[in-house]
Chain A
Amino acid sequence: MSGMIVALAPAVLRDVDWLAPVRAAASIARGTSVAAVIVGGDGEMAQAALRAGAGAVWLVSHPGLGDQPDTGQLVALFAQALTQADLQDHRLALVPPGALTETIAASLAVHLDGAALGLCADIALSDAAITATRPAYGGRAVMTVTCAGRRCYGAMRPPKPTHSGDPRQGSVHHLELTEPLPQPLPTTRRDSHLSAANLEGAKVVVSGGRGMGGKEGFALLAELAGCLGGALGGSLPAVDAGWVPVLRQVGQSGRFVTPDVYVAVGISGTPQHLAGIAPSTRIVAINKDAEADIFRFAEIGMVAEWKDALPALIARLKETA
C-alpha cells in the first residue's frame, strides 16, 4: 500500500505543539514521504516543518476561519485539505497529541472512512498494513492493532528533539480552501485566573497527590514551582478533590509531561500517574511513606511530611537566589 504520511498541524490553536505531528511522522517515515498541512501558519513555520522532517508543506487558509476556530471547523478544514489531489494519497494522518486535538483525528476517521488509532506509543508502516502500539488499562498494558487497506488517523508523541533540525529542501504550497465551514460553537470565554506556567515545555514540574490532604499544600507547591520557574501539576485524586484544576492533571488520563525534573509530593507512584511522565525525566519524591512506590522510580527521595519539607525547601531556595 503506497501513500504518504500527513502531519496535521493546527498552528492556529493556542498552547498546542503544532510541530509535534511533523516530528512524529518523520520519526516513523523510513522512506515514506511526509507532508505537513499547517492551519494558521506562515513561511517561518513552513521552514520549521521542513527542518522537522516534512518533504512538502501546505499552508492552509480559509476566508471563514476566525482567530479561535473550534475543533469542528478544523475537522472540516483538514478534511477538505486531505481530499485535495496532492494529499488524497495519504495512508496515515497524525495530529498533535492532546485530549482536544485527538478528537480531530477521530472525527476525520469517520468523515474520511478510515480507522481511528487514538494516541499511539509507536506506529510502524509496512507495504501491507499500519501497525500501532498504544497503552491500555491505564498504561498497565500495551495493545497492538493493525489496519490493512484503510487510511488511519491518530496521534503519536514525537521523540524529544535533540537539535533544531538540519536545513532541508522541500516545497511550500499555499492552499486556500473555500468550502463553507460549520458554524463555530457559540462559546462564551472568560479568564479562569489560572495564570500559572503551562505544563507543556516546562523544565521543572512540581506535582502533588492525595497525600497533600487539601488545597493548602498546593499553594506551597505553586510557590515551589514558582521558585524553580516550573509548572504546577497534580495527580488524578488531587484533581478529583478539587485541589488543582483538571488542566494540570498529569498521568495516563491527563497531560504527558517531559520536564528535566519532576518533583512528586504526596504522590504514591501508580502506573497510571507515571504514564504521564517521560521516561527520561528525573523524579524527585517527597512522601511520608517510606514504602511508597514512587521511591522505586525516583532519583532522589525524601521521607518527610510535606508540611515540614516544603516551607523549608522554599526558604532554602529563596536564600540561594
Chain B
Amino acid sequence: MNMVVLLAGVADPKWPLAAVSTDLLGDRARNHICLSPFDEAALEIALKIREGRSGTRVTVAMAGGAESDPLLRKVAAYRPDRAVRIDGGTLALHDARTLAAALAALVPQLDATADMVLIGREFGDCDSGAVPPCLAATLGWRLFALAQHAHWLDGRLWLVREQGNVEESVPVEGQWVVSVTNDRRNRLRHPLMKNVIEARRMSVATLGPSPPARARLALDAVAAAPARTRDLPCRMLSGALATQVGELAAFLAPWKART
C-alpha cells in the first residue's frame, strides 16, 4: 500500500483574514496559514495505515507557494517517507475540476506506485468538496468520500464512515481516492520533538510548476462575507438562575408544543 497525501492548508480561523482577493496564492502568504482539520485527518489516517503494515509508503505533497514551506516542515516532523511542495503558481485553486486535473497529472511523479490518494474532504480555502471527486474521476480511481477511519483486519485494509444511523465499511482493493473528514479517531498526533527539530532543517523539494491549464471557471471576485447581524440586541436574561431558566423554558415551550 503506497499512499499520496495531498494537503493544501487554510487561512488560520483563529486569525482575522488579513487579505482576500482574486490573488488566492498571494493571499496565502498574506494570511496565517495552518493545516485544516481535514488535512490533519488525512495525514493521521495515512500514518495509521502505515503503522499497520510494514512496507507501506507515505508521500505528502502540499500545494502552494513558499509560504507553505514552514507548514510542510511541520508535516515532515511526522516522518512521511517523502514530503514535497507542489508549486501552486499555475494551479487554478478556485476551479475544482482544473485543479484536480493538475493534481492528477502529478500523482505519478509523487509516487508512480501509489494505490491510494488521501485528501481532506475540502481542499484549501475555496470551501469546495468538489476536488476529491473530480480527482477520482480524472484518475479513473474509485472514490470513498468522507472517510472517518481506516483499520487493518485480517491483512485487509477497511475504510469506515457513518451515514445517517449506519456505519459503512469498505475493503480496499485497487486504486482509491479517499476524501477524509474529521473524527475523534483521526485527530492528528503530536510529533516527537527530535523530529520537529530535524524537520526545521529540512530543505523543501518542489514539484512543478505544472503547465498552466485553461481554467473552466474565471475567478471574478473574492470579498469579505457580509457580517451576520441582528437588528435587535440579544435579550440577556438576568436575575436568579431559576428565574432565567423559567424565562428560557417559556420561550422554548411553544416549539415543544409544535413538535
- A residues contacting B by CB (< 8 A) are 14-15, 71-72, 75, 99-100, 102-107, 109-111, 114-119, 131, 134-148, 150, 154, 185-195, 198, 203-204, 227-230, 236, 239-242, 245-247, 249, 252-253, 260-261, 263, 270-272, 274, 279, 284-285, 290, 295-304, 308-309, 312-313, 316-317, 320-321
Name the contact of A298 in the complex, choosing from B217, B234, B256 (C-beta under 8 A).
Answer: B234
Mask for B82-98, Cβ within 8 A of A = 1, else 0? 00000000000011110
* Min CB gap B164→A, angstroms: 5
Residues of A near B163 (CB, < 8 A) are 15, 100, 247
The reply to whether A103 and B225 form a contact with Cβ atoms under 8 Å apart is no
Name the contact of A14 in the complex, choosing from B125, B164, B168 (C-beta under 8 A).
Answer: B164
* Min CB gap A321→B, angstroms: 8
B-side interface residues, number (CB < 8 Å): 84
A-B residue pairs, 5 tightest by C-beta: A242-B184, A229-B259, A110-B137, A118-B128, A106-B130
Mask for B240-259, Cβ within 8 A of A = 1, else 0? 01101111110111011011
A312 to B245, CA, bound (A): 7
A116 to B13, CA, bound (A): 26
Name the contact of B130 in the complex, choosing from A116, A144, A236 (C-beta under 8 A).
Answer: A116
**Interface residues of chain B: helix, strand, loop or mixed (majority):** mixed
The reply to whether B165 and A191 form a contact with Cβ atoms under 8 Å apart is yes
In the complex formed, the residue of B with least CB distance to A194 is: B165
Name the contact of B143 in the complex, choosing from A72, A188, A253, A271 (C-beta under 8 A).
Answer: A72
**Interface residues of chain A: helix, strand, loop or mixed (majority):** mixed
- Knowing A107-B133, A110-B134, A246-B181 touch, does A309 contact B245 (C-beta < 8 A)? yes
- Knowing A99-B121, A246-B181 touch, does A106 contact B129 (C-beta < 8 A)? yes
A131 to B241, CA, bound (A): 51
In the complex formed, the residue of B with least CB distance to A285 is: B234
- Knowing A99-B121, A187-B170 touch, does A228 contact B137 (C-beta < 8 A)? no
The reply to whether B183 and A189 form a contact with Cβ atoms under 8 Å apart is no
Residues of B near A309 (CB, < 8 A) are 241, 244-245, 248
Could you show 23 A-B contacts with beta carbons less than 8 Å apart?
Answer: A72-B142, A100-B163, A106-B97, A106-B132, A116-B97, A116-B130, A136-B126, A136-B222, A137-B20, A139-B127, A140-B17, A142-B222, A142-B223, A145-B95, A185-B142, A192-B166, A194-B162, A227-B256, A228-B255, A240-B183, A301-B234, A301-B235, A302-B244
- Knowing A141-B222, A192-B162, A204-B255 touch, does A109 contact B97 (C-beta < 8 A)? yes
Residues of B near A75 (CB, < 8 A) are 137
Residues of A near B171 (CB, < 8 A) are 186
A-B contact count (CB 8 A): 292
In the complex formed, the residue of B with least CB distance to A118 is: B128
A71 to B137, CA, bound (A): 12
The reply to whether B218 and A139 form a contact with Cβ atoms under 8 Å apart is no
The reply to whether B183 and A239 form a contact with Cβ atoms under 8 Å apart is yes
Residues of A near B181 (CB, < 8 A) are 99, 246, 253
Within 8 A of A (CB), among B11-29: 11, 13, 17, 20
* Min CB gap A264→B, angstroms: 12
The reply to whether B137 and A312 form a contact with Cβ atoms under 8 Å apart is no
Residues of B near A272 (CB, < 8 A) are 13
Residues of B near A143 (CB, < 8 A) are 94, 126, 219, 221-222
Please choose the segment from B47-55, B64-72, B144-152, B192-200 that sits at the chain A interface, where 4 or more of its residues have CB less than 8 A away: B144-152
A192 to B149, CA, bound (A): 14
The reply to whether B126 and A246 form a contact with Cβ atoms under 8 Å apart is no
The reply to whether B256 and A228 form a contact with Cβ atoms under 8 Å apart is yes
Instruction: Let me know if B112 is at the binding interface, CB within 8 A.
Output: no
Residues of B near A304 (CB, < 8 A) are 241, 244
Given contacts A131-B220, A142-B225, 20 further A-B contacts (CB under 8 A): A100-B146, A103-B143, A103-B145, A106-B133, A110-B97, A115-B217, A116-B130, A135-B225, A139-B225, A143-B221, A228-B255, A249-B182, A253-B127, A271-B225, A285-B234, A290-B236, A302-B248, A309-B248, A313-B245, A317-B249
Residues of B near A110 (CB, < 8 A) are 97, 100, 133-134, 137-138
Instruction: Let me know if B187 is at the binding interface, CB within 8 A.
Output: yes
In the complex formed, the residue of B with least CB distance to A75 is: B137
Instruction: Let me know if B103 is at the binding interface, CB within 8 A.
Output: no
Residues of B near A260 (CB, < 8 A) are 255, 258
A317 to B122, CA, bound (A): 40
The reply to whether A320 and B249 form a contact with Cβ atoms under 8 Å apart is yes
* Min CB gap A78→B, angstroms: 13
A119 to B131, CA, bound (A): 12
